Amino acid sequence: MVFSVREKDLAGRIGELVTRTGRLETPALLPVVNPVLQIVSPEEMKQIGFQGVMTNAYIVKRHWDRWTEKKIHAILDFDGVIMADSGAYQLLRYGEIELSPTELVRLQEEIEPDIAVILDVPTGWDVDRGRAEYTVMETLRRAELTAKIRKKSGILWVCPIQGGTFLDLVRKSAVESSKLNYDAYALGSPTRVMEEYDFATLVEMIATARFNIPMNKPLHLFGAGHPMMFAMAVALGCDTFDSASYALYAKDGRYMVEHGTLKVERMEYLPCDCPVCRKRDVEDFKEGEAKEKLLALHNLYKCYEEIERIKEAISEGRLWELIKLRSFSHPALRLAFKKLLKYVERIARYTPSTKDVGLFIFDEEDLQRPEILIAEKRMLERYSPPRREFLVILPPPPTKPYLRDERVRILLKEIEKKGLLSRLHVCFLSEVFGVVPYELSETYPFSQHEVGELGFSNVAKRRVLEYLRAHKSFYKQAIVAADLAEVAELVEEAGLVVHKIPFNWKKKEIKRFVAVFENWARRR
């Protein structure tokens, strides 16, 4: 296996890509290195922690006489993983390059990068459908050609997915590319989308590509830009990125922070503890010949820090919390997060159903997180409640897990003592899951979550109805705590006869509730 997955959360994963040079842990950012002009050397990037870099085979070719040693690791003086782009970006920017797809294959095989990209035809930004269709079909033709003529083993080949903002074309490109069995795939033409801060469209492009190629193949995102969007891209299934933003921002005097960039000329403090900032004051970034390099190094540290933070979030099972936090970095990221919710059912297929941590529920958006959808789906499709005369819906006890709450034990003991176990099925109202049967209350994540001030939302109401409609044949009637009036209405809507009995979790009231039911049942 070229690529293996060690841990996963949402559609993101911590994996390992095996190359001829070594192993690359993913998610991984590959800083872009110009083989001719380097503001930061690959060796300095390695000292920061980067295991790989991205360079450009076409630029190498244009300066071919510059190097006596033609292997890319010698040219860059770097012993880590090197991915070589093809020159397609220059093709997009200038309209043409002096390199054919066949010549590119021979060039890549001569310089021997670990990972090579075919010479695709990028769709670009703001093109009509006819042009987009051409880029898809021509890239597929070139991918088929490359697959036939490549000879040298040991190089991992990447097939870009084109189509731009035409999602049906992105889907077609992904599906057809998958048939060619490349080592990895890449989402083409996202750079201008990110430059325009159209992150919502980027979410759709990534999701369309990711979910139409094999999940056991890594997905690369070209030109990833600012690290504030890395987490969302990883959550959608991107495994590797390249970015020149560290240098481009430095050239423009922009200092990366978690929520965006600051113009260094306006800064009075250094809000960072990276090795670059720790030894200097803000004036060092404003004056002197080295100021651009200092900015570039700081920006690289921020990018590396974010990748490490993402991996830790995956390991802890907290990637959802991280992308939610990052979505508040910019209004465009908030729109992107809302767009991501459109794909949450697909993301749920790759999310662990159990975790070592509880879920944090802040608002109704969090009610759609994959772990909750998984639990809801399983309860509706796989769970069969015991056949009882009465479904009992009570407010949740004050502490979780519910079955460990002393008051719940008192309730169940009283029911058993009165000989009512065979007639009652106790469930708890949940503002997250709707209805939680007592026997499932310790199952993840029915008790393993923390909720803010959410209230009985429309989502919870829908889930109550779904439970009742799926399982009402197991009951004849329902008993609902008297103060849960909205729940009683939902029970009636589902077609069950409902009775309301006063209830609260005070110990005396628990016993009184059971006694009231016993007397009421006898009279009937």
Residue pair 327/334 in contact (Cβ under 8 Å)? The answer is yes
Look at residue 82 and give its three-state secondary structure: strand
236 C-beta neighbours (distance < 10 Å), count: 29
Q: Which of 467, 357, 433, 446 is nearest to 402 (CA)?
A: 446
Kindly compute the dihedral angle of the four CA atoms of residues 430, 431, 433, 436, in this order, to the nearest 10 degrees.
0
CB 464 within 8 Å of CB 490: yes
SS3 label, residue 467: helix
> Would you state the structure tokens that stand for residue 391, as one six-digit string?
């479904």
Collect all residues with Cβ–Cβ distance below 8 Å to 313 and sequence separation of at least 6: 9, 231, 319, 321, 322
Residue 124 CA to residue 89 CA, distance in Å, equals: 9
Determine the residue type at 47. Q
**Maximum distance among all Cα pairs of the chain, rounded to whole angstroms:** 100
Give the residue from 395, 426, 405 showing the smallest Cα distance to 502: 395
Q: How many CB atoms lie within 10 A of CB 195?
A: 11
Q: How many helices (H) and strands (E) does the chain have?
A: 21, 20
Q: Is residue 391 within 8 Å of 496, Cβ to Cβ?
A: yes
198 is catalytic: no
- Of the residues 9, 65, 85, 405, only one is catalytic, namely 85
Q: Determine how many CB atoms are found less than 10 A away from the CB of residue 235.
A: 28
Catalytic residues: 85
